[in-house]
């Protein structure tokens, strides 16, 4: 009898935030100066121990360490290798939290921050006034990372031993872990440089000694395996990038030969990079079989016999229960021939933590779901079935099969009337009545705005008082009438302040909204909502994505009453504020039993109805945010056009039924607009507002190079940082914008909504922004 193969369970990363958002509370307390660094570190250590314990209890054999982060794992990597731009000061030995958070959030030496003199580590109280590092989306997720910045003469040095410290910490608590590190090639490829004629990969030779130093120290500490993430292997790569992988992994394995590397890829297929990945001298390879199930056959056919394969078979980015019986049939013949690791497709960072905390969900829908804890248990069930036989877990497999069948046949999911409406193919659904130049004249006559018109993106600060009132209303401690009166008072106050400061096109502040997607989803059919299913967007910013489980429709108007009330408070134009169908789709956990394009089209018709109602009520400017349009872009360029075709069509369905004089706005944030500029033009909006402050108007280049035909509001105020930009800083940004775009087409606005900021930051920043616009007019 031959040697029996074994199957083990690994997790590639676990949500950092804590089941009760402990990390958010600790971070924000530290930033506010109300707790010490030791308090923050104590919370972090408690969370790490809790996460290792829970993963082990659910059946994980291989636990990750260094998956925890105070802000972002890419920023952690920059801190580790000393890739710290000079504006944050010289780091001679080890990076401290003050510098770390300055890179994440910016740093300001003047203002009203209570801990300014204390050097509290929030980025406010120490050193010179500096902006935060540029932030962008992590591949096609809604997670944001801090973009590494490199120079041609970049020097690297070990300035953070976090990965070593946390491995040592886990061992001290009785957990043997597999440390996680972002690979050197992906780290360079995900970075940026301001210098021309310089390839970031040329820095690889300088960077590798730091990785060798880290790996060598981990080996000395007792680590046997390292998970080294190279997600860029699923992207379109040129020969130089493939050669960089060969150089990097030969150097690393030659330098630390006894240490085993698990090369980890996710978010897509290796495709034409498969041969490169399989040629590398690593001990293991992880592949994503949820996003790219078809690659399994090629991987099995080409992988060398001693290569330990890690199969990402449980979806690390969605919340649906896996069909365990179907997966067993897939894996059984493989497990009979070779040792395997079963794992989520990617880090569980992108999923909520524990379904069991959701006690108010519809029981049927809940039976179809699995969060991070449940996904580890699913993997454990599969491993037990393969190692010990299916009889050992028969009850679990039967329950799983029943849940899968229930979801497939449930009447809660399918609505024939919705399907019939969305099958319409009339070209008039996606065409504005006139081209933009004609619409622009009609809108100028209707709105009568000055040059450099000022506005904001939609939301104003959600203060502690607002959150308290919302919570009291939800608990029944504040009546609906009293809650509405409170919100009306907040809205009136915000409108009065906007008039006082001199903004031209106003917003109502969105105080009644908990989230720009959740607010709409709660009023649409086919959605369900959770109480505790938080996931990280960036830093301490967490969201609870809706779950789209069935066909989508709008039973009644969603924003009309609040717009009417707000417009009654002012004679200035009040924008109608909507979230677009593609963003609602991409910021939700989406049903996986039909194409995403079909679900998006259903949402588009619902938003179209809302647009019509707003216009009929007299709304002159309607903003349909598509902040997440680019993040849904497939990772391979060959797949882009199909996605962009249906995404743009869905947006146009929402906006194309209005009159020429009705001004359609959209907003996009943190995108590489060069990639999708033709699609943005095809959206045919009248005004687009975009994030440009952190990039110092670099991102505006795509619009100027492609002669973007409509009006544009390049953000001049980075709302993801607490610092308050000066009038001069914003004027400089607008002057830079004017070099790229005709001043007649320029608007003045922040980068994004102001929900997460404090009024003490917002009021002076917006006042400075309005003054900057006035100076530009003169």
Q: Give the residue among 314, 459, 659, 728 at the shortest CA–CA distance from 736.
A: 728
What are the strands of the beta sheet with 547-553, ordered from one edge? 525-528, 547-553, 589-590
- Separation between Cα atoms, residue 306 and residue 319, nearest integer Å: 33
- Phi-psi sector, 458: left (phi>0), alpha (psi -120 to 50), beta: left
Look up 720 and say whether it is catalytic.
yes
Q: Give the residue among 591, 579, 592, 598 at the shortest CA–CA distance from 646.
A: 598
Beta bridge partners of 312: 288, 343
Number of CB atoms found within 10 A of residue 778's CB? 5
Place of tokens 């440390």: 179
User: What pairing do the DSSP bridges indicate for beta strands 340-344 and 7-9?
Assistant: parallel
* Contacts for 353 with CB less than 8 Å, ≥ 6 apart: 15, 17, 19, 371, 372, 373, 532, 533, 534
11 exposure class (CB count in 10 Å sphere: 0-12, 13-18, 19+): buried
150 exposure class (CB count in 10 Å sphere: 0-12, 13-18, 19+): buried
Beta bridge partners of 578: 624
Number of CB atoms found within 10 A of residue 332's CB? 12
Beta bridge partners of 150: 193
Q: Residues 51, 73, 667, 720: which is the catalytic one?
A: 720
Backbone angles phi, psi at 549, to 5 degrees: -110, -15
Number of H helices, E strands in the chain: 27, 22
CA atoms within 13 A on the CB side of 112: 9
Q: Give the residue among 741, 12, 770, 754 at the shortest CA–CA distance from 376.
A: 12
469-504 burial by CB neighbour count: b if 16+ within 10 A, else e?
bbeebeeeebeeeebbebbbebbbebbebbeeeebb
- Phi-psi sector, 66: left (phi>0), alpha (psi -120 to 50), beta: left
Catalytic site positions? 720
């Amino acid at each position: 009898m031959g040697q029996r193969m074994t199957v083990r369970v690994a997790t590639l990363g676990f949500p950092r935030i804590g089941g009760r958002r402990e990390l958010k509370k600790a971070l924000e307390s530290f930033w506010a100066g109300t707790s010490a660094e030791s308090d923050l570190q104590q919370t972090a250590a408690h969370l790490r121990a809790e996460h290792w314990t829970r993963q082990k209890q659910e059946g994980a054999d291989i636990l990750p360490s260094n998956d925890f982060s105070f802000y972002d794992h890419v920023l952690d990597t920059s801190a580790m290798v000393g890739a710290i731009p000079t504006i944050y000061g010289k780091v001679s030995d080890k990076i401290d939290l003050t510098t770390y958070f300055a890179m994440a959030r910016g740093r300001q030496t003047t203002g009203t921050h209570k801990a300014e003199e204390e050097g509290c580590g929030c980025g406010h109280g120490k050193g010179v006034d500096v902006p935060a590092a540029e932030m962008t989306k992590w591949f096609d997720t809604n997670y944001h990372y801090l973009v590494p910045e490199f120079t041609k003469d970049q020097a690297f040095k070990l300035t953070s031993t976090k990965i070593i410290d946390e491995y040592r910490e886990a061992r001290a608590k009785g957990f043997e872990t597999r440390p996680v590190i972002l690979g050197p090639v992906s780290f360079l490829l995900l970075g940026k440089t301001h210098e021309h004629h310089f390839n970031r990969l040329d820095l690889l030779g300088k960077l590798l000694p730091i990785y060798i130093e880290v790996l060598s120290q981990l080996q000395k500490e007792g680590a046997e395996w390292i998970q080294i993430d190279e997600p860029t292997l699923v992207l379109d790569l040129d020969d130089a990038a493939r050669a960089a992988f060969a150089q990097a992994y030969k150097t690393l394995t030659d330098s630390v030969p006894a240490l085993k590397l698990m090369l980890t890829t996710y978010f897509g297929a290796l495709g034409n990079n498969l041969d490169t990945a399989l040629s590398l001298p690593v001990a293991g390879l992880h592949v994503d079989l949820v996003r790219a199930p078809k690659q399994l056959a090629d991987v099995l056919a080409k992988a060398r016999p001693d290569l330990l394969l890690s199969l990402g078979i449980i979806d690390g980015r969605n919340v649906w229960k896996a069909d365990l019986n179907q997966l067993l049939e897939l894996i059984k013949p493989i497990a009979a021939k070779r040792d395997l690791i079963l794992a989520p497709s990617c880090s569980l960072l992108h999923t909520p933590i524990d379904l069991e905390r959701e006690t108010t969900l519809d029981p049927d829908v809940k039976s179809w779901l699995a969060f991070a804890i449940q996904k580890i248990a699913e993997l454990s069930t599969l491993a037990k079935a393969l190692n010990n036989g299916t009889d050992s877990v028969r009850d679990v497999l039967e329950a799983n099969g029943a849940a899968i069948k229930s979801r497939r046949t449930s009447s809660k999911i399918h609505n024939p009337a919705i399907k019939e409406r969305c099958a319409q193919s009339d070209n008039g659904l996606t065409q504005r009545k006139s081209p933009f130049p004609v619409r622009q004249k009609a809108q100028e006559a209707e709105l009568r705005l000055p040059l450099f018109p000022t506005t904001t993106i939609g939301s104003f600060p959600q203060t502690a008082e607002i959150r308290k009132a919302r919570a009291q209303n939800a608990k029944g401690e504040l009546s609906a009438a009293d809650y509405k009166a409170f919100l009306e008072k907040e809205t009136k106050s915000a409108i009065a302040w906007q008039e006082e400061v001199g903004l031209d096109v106003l917003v109502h502040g969105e105080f009644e909204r908990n989230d720009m997607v959740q607010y709409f989803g709660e009023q649409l059919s086919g959605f369900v909502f959770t109480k505790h299913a938080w996931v990280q967007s960036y830093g301490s910013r967490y969201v609870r994505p809706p779950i789209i489980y069935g066909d989508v429709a709008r039973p009644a108007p969603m924003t009309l009453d609040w717009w009417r009330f707000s417009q009654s408070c002012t004679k200035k134009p009040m924008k109608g504020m909507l979230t677009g169908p593609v963003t609602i789709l991409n910021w939700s956990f989406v049903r996986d039993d039909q194409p995403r394009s079909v679900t998006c089209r259903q949402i588009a018709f619902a938003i179209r109805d809302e647009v019509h109602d707003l216009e009929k009520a007299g709304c002159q400017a309607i903003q349909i945010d598509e902040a997440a349009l680019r993040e849904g872009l497939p990772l391979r360029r060959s797949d882009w056009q199909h996605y962009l075709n249906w995404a743009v069509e869905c947006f146009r369905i929402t906006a194309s039924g209005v009159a020429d004089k009705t001004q359609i706005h959209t907003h996009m944030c943190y995108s590489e607009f060069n990639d999708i500029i033709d699609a943005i033009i095809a959206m045919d909006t009248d005004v687009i507002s975009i994030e440009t402050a952190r990039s110092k108007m670099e991102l505006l280049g795509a619009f100027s190079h492609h002669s973007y035909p409509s009006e544009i509001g390049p953000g001049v105020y980075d709302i993801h940082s607490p610092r308050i930009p000066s009038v001069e800083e914003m004027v400089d940004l607008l002057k830079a914008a004017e070099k790229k775009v005709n001043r007649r087409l320029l608007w003045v606005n922040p980068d994004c909504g102001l929900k997460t900021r404090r009024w003490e930051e917002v009021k002076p920043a917006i006042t400075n922004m309005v003054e900057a616009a006035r100076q530009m007019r003169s």
